[in-house]
């Protein structure tokens, strides 16, 4: 759980629906580009399957797993990486893992990590050895993804009911009163240690994995032809 999945029932419906619409919009955009450029759907399917496999490897007594979303961005590029993150989030949500209603928002937060990773890695690999560049990219990606989740939780505190029920002051007052606010200080105190520990573990794991893969297939980490 190096990344935070938002579970069902935390966010207001307006946020859930917006997340789905934005994700589907990006999926169509990216899928068109993938089709035009003739990028490998086979590689997309197989890498997504590998991510799912890695996520199923339990790492302790608490429900904890790795994500490798940054590695997906590095190996697949930003466009296929975005689709891969959606596929994985979707399949995981169908397993009751991460909310099914928040597939859109969870895709966007993880995709932020993937897309950033695909560009950041290109910069870092010029200055660092490849396994180190992959590990640093992963750490930064996880930090960004965590910030996106925190941003969404913080942003959703501006109760969308205020906009949905415009003109019905009495109803608005009732709705706002009925839905309590999340204490951001408490939320950060709870999630940041978990996310930081997860990020560190994942970065070390990805470093070792990249070291192994780079020794055997250095061409996997050549990104010039991607995105």
The answer to whether 147 and 116 are in contact (CB under 8 A) is: no
Polymer length in residues for the chain: 227
- Using alpha carbons only, how large is the chain's radius of gyration in Å? 19
Cα–Cα distance for residue pair 147/142, rounded to 1 Å: 8
Among the candidate windows 39-47, 112-120, 137-145, 160-168, which touches other proteins by CB under 8 A? Answer: 39-47
**Binding other proteins by CB under 8 A: which of 116, 142, 153, 161?**
153
By CB under 8 A, tell whether 57 contacts other proteins: yes
Q: 14, 18, 22, 43: which one contacts other proteins (CB under 8 A)?
A: 43
172 touches other proteins (CB under 8 A) = no
Within 81-140, the residues that bind other proteins by CB under 8 A are: 83-84, 86-88, 90-91, 93-101
Q: What is the total count of residues that contact other proteins (CB under 8 A)? A: 71
92 contacts 55 by C-beta, under 8 angstroms? yes
Binding flag, residue 53, other proteins (CB under 8 A): yes
In the block, which residue shows the tokens 């709870």? 190
Question: Which residue lies nearer to other proteins by CB, 123 or 220?
Answer: 220
Residue 150 burial (CB count, 10 A) = 18
Tokens of 51: 């991510």
Min CB(192)–other proteins separation in Å: 11
């Amino acid at each position: 759980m190096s990344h935070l999945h938002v579970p069902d029932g935390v966010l207001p419906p307006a946020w859930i629906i917006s997340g789905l619409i934005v994700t589907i919009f990006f999926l169509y955009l990216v899928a068109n580009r993938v089709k035009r450029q003739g990028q490998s759907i086979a590689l997309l399917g197989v890498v997504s399957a590998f991510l799912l496999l890695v996520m199923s490897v339990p790492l302790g007594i608490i429900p904890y797993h790795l994500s490798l979303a940054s590695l997906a961005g590095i190996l697949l590029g930003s466009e296929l990486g975005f689709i891969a993150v959606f596929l994985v989030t979707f399949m995981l949500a169908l397993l009751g893992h991460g909310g099914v209603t928040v597939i859109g928002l969870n895709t966007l937060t993880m995709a932020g990590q993937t897309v950033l990773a695909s560009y950041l890695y290109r910069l870092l690999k010029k200055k660092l050895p490849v396994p180190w560049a992959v590990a640093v990219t992963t750490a930064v990606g996880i930090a960004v993804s965590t910030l996106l989740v925190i941003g969404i939780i913080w942003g959703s505190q501006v109760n969308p009911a205020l906009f949905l029920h415009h003109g019905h002051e009495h109803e608005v007052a009732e709705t706002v009163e009925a839905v309590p606010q999340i204490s951001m200080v408490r939320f950060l105190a709870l999630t940041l240690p978990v996310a930081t520990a997860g990020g560190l573990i994942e970065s070390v794991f990805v470093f070792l994995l990249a070291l192994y893969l780079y020794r055997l297939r250095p061409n996997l980490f050549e990104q010039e032809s991607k995105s």
